[in-house]
Amino acid sequence: MIWLGIAILLLLLPAAWRWQFWRPVRKGLLVLMYHHIGHIAPADGQFPFTVTPERFEEQLQMLKKHGFTPIGLDEIQAAARTGQKLPPKPVLLTFDDGHADNYENLFPLLKKHNVKAVIFLITRYIGQEKGYMSWDQVRQMQQSGLVQFGSHTLDHARLRKLPQDEILRQLIQSKKEMEDHLGVPCLAFCYPFGSGGFDKRVRPLVFRAGYQFDFSTKPGINPWPWKGKKTLLRAFPRGGETLTDFYVQITRGKSKF
Ligand SMILES: [Zn+2]
């Protein structure tokens, strides 16, 4: 009998690793991190960072079915300022880097479902590098009222490796470029290379440069009100993941180790 128990446990272990249903359901502000919306071969290095438009739409439907309220950065800013509550089960959709497929594939779906999003731009790549959006496309998204933008540095710098004056230049100059092009304050910052891109030395400089929110790639769901003691956590739906994974992501903040 005991052997049967052990055998069942051993069989359950891989499933517990893959789908972390055993983690407690978390309440708070759910932030999802995406990069590309498009089609890509599984062998491509960008595959984990690419969700197909079809799967993304299924994910939007799942969020709706489970009572999540997609909100924008403006609502988060207002709530943080006034100490107000957020709507029930708030979710913020974020997209890193400013890839052209965000305009081509994501933007039509945001309009179709009337869902807001935040895109973090590498300002020197916009209108310059192949595969990235133009400032005109960025402005079209902004004018829809559905998309807001944050900074992801000038050129995707690994800030942790830089001297302080260069870190501040990356933070301040990219903020200024965003504001010059878009005419609104740029208050959100997202670290390139996630947790490998910043450290205790970098984070205070983000706030010194005038940002109010910093987003990392640490997985989880954020307690609200957010006190700013830690970076904002983001759940990371990867390319090729199932909808079961997505359900675990949106309720637990992570699906796998
Ligand atoms: Zn990035």
pLDDT in tens, 198-243: 999 999 999 999 999 999 999 999 999 898 999 999 999 999 999 9
Average pLDDT taken over every residue of the chain = 94
Ligand 1 mean position, distance from CA 224 (Å): 25
Ligand 1 mean position, distance from CA 2 (Å): 49
In a domain, 17, yes or no: no
Q: How confident is the model at residue 4, as a pLDDT?
A: 87
Peptide bond into 225 cis (omega under 30): yes
In a domain, 65, yes or no: yes
DSSP secondary structure string for all residues of 45-91: TTGGGEE-HHHHHHHHHHHHHTT-EE--HHHHHHHHHHTPPPPSSEE
pLDDT in tens, 26-51: 889 999 999 999 999 999 999 999 99
What is the total count of domains within the chain?
Answer: 1
| Element at 207 (helix H, strand E) | helix 203-208
pLDDT in tens, 8-25: 888 888 877 777 777 878
Q: How confident is the model at residue 257, as a pLDDT?
A: 66
Ligand 1 mean position, distance from CA 125 (Å): 11
Other CB atoms within a 10 A radius of the CB of residue 114 amount to 9
In a domain, 7, yes or no: no
End-to-end CA distance of the chain: 31
Ligand 1 mean position, distance from CA 160 (Å): 14
Other CB atoms within a 10 A radius of the CB of residue 212 amount to 17
Ligand 1 mean position, distance from CA 32 (Å): 14
The two three-digit tokens of residue 96, written as one number: 């890193």
The two three-digit tokens of residue 192, written as one number: 């390139």
The two three-digit tokens of residue 63, written as one number: 């969020």
SS3 category, 217? coil
CA distance 228 to 240: 33
In a domain, 8, yes or no: no
DSSP state of 25: P
CATH number at residue 153: 3.20.20.370
Ligand 1 mean position, distance from CA 10 (Å): 38
In a domain, 18, yes or no: no
Domain containing residue 93: 25-252
Length reported for the chain: 257
Helix boundaries (H) for 87-183: 100-101, 107-113, 135-143, 164-182
- Tell me whether strands 36-37 and 50-51 are parallel, antiparallel or unpaired: parallel
The dihedral over CA atoms of 137, 139, 141, 143, expressed in degrees to the nearest 10, equals: -150
pLDDT in tens, 74-122: 999 999 888 788 999 999 999 999 999 999 999 999 999 999 999 999 9
User: Which of 158, 97, 161 is closest to 124 using CA atoms?
Assistant: 97
Ligand 1 mean position, distance from CA 173 (Å): 17
In a domain, 185, yes or no: yes
